[in-house]
Amino acid sequence: MSLNNSSKTSEILSAHFFQRADVVSIAKELIGKVLCTEFDGVLTTGQIVETEAYNGIHDKACHAHSGRFTKRTKVMYEPGGTAYIYLCYGIHHLFNIITNNEGIPDAVLIRAIEPLEGTQTMLERRKMNQKKRNLTAGPGILSQALGIKTDQNGIQLTRENGIWIEDHGLNITSNNIISGPRVGIGYAGEDALLPYRFSLRGNPWVSPAKT
């Protein structure tokens, strides 16, 4: 989508952005980028305001910890820039971006976005009639709002094809990024304490999950 953005830059993040070694840096840098989907010609976009890093085989909270390789986790070993979408609690489609090179199962979970374009479509998908925080502030509901489903598991995010990420040239300084422990992974022992959750300071669209 490159319509009337005359002054703003708006480029799709490439494989190079995702195929780097430090998943924690990538999770931080994704704050302020724009997550876009287009299905059946319907465009919806939102600014990423909350992410979590999952540090591959060494991270007890990561589905691929200790090199676990199953039907579900095999997509995590794809090259950076691949989508990893799985069903959680039988209800919620959680959207992750695979990072690093092929064979290394690092990933970033997108936890919340601030709606930009297509909010009317998002409201319909969420069966809501008012734009408020529970439209997109949470990993399960943002997927519902953007129409992301496990159907799209394994697709490439580096083309304007279904799901992609744009850089709108926003410069977020590190003192505007809050870090803290990840949500819902108490089973991960000491790794549950790692400060791998990042959010945009003061943004009302950050998920209400307890830290």
- Residue ranges in contact with DNA by CB under 7 A: 52, 54, 61-63, 68, 70-73, 86-92, 94, 96, 107, 109, 126, 134, 138-142, 182-185, 187, 207, 209
Helix, strand or coil for residue 12?
strand
- Which of residues 22 and 168 has its CB atom nearest to DNA in the complex? 22
- Nearest CA to 43 out of 34, 51, 52 is that of 34
d(CA 29, CA 82): 17
- Taking the least distance from each CB to DNA, the nearer of 140 and 162 is 140
Q: What are phi and psi of 50, to 5 degrees?
A: -155, 130
- Min. distance of Cβ 118 from DNA in angstroms? 18
Cβ 53 to DNA, closest distance in Å? 9
Burial (Cβ within 10 Å: 0-12, 13-18, ≥19) of residue 210:
exposed
Q: Give the residue with the Cβ less far from DNA, 10 or 180.
A: 180
**CB of residue 8 vs DNA: minimum separation in angstroms?**
29
Q: Which is nearer to DNA, 102 or 160 (CB)?
A: 102
On whether the CB atoms of residues 1 and 43 are closer than 8 A, the answer is yes
Cβ atoms 113, 136 nearer than 8 A: yes
Q: Tell me which residue of 15, 160, 14, 12 sits closest to 101, measured CA to CA.
A: 15
Task: Give me the least distance between CB of 174 and DNA, in Å please.
Answer: 22
What minimum distance in Å lies between the beta carbon of 71 and DNA? 4
Structure tokens at 152: 């799209």
Nearer to DNA, 131 or 169 (CB): 131
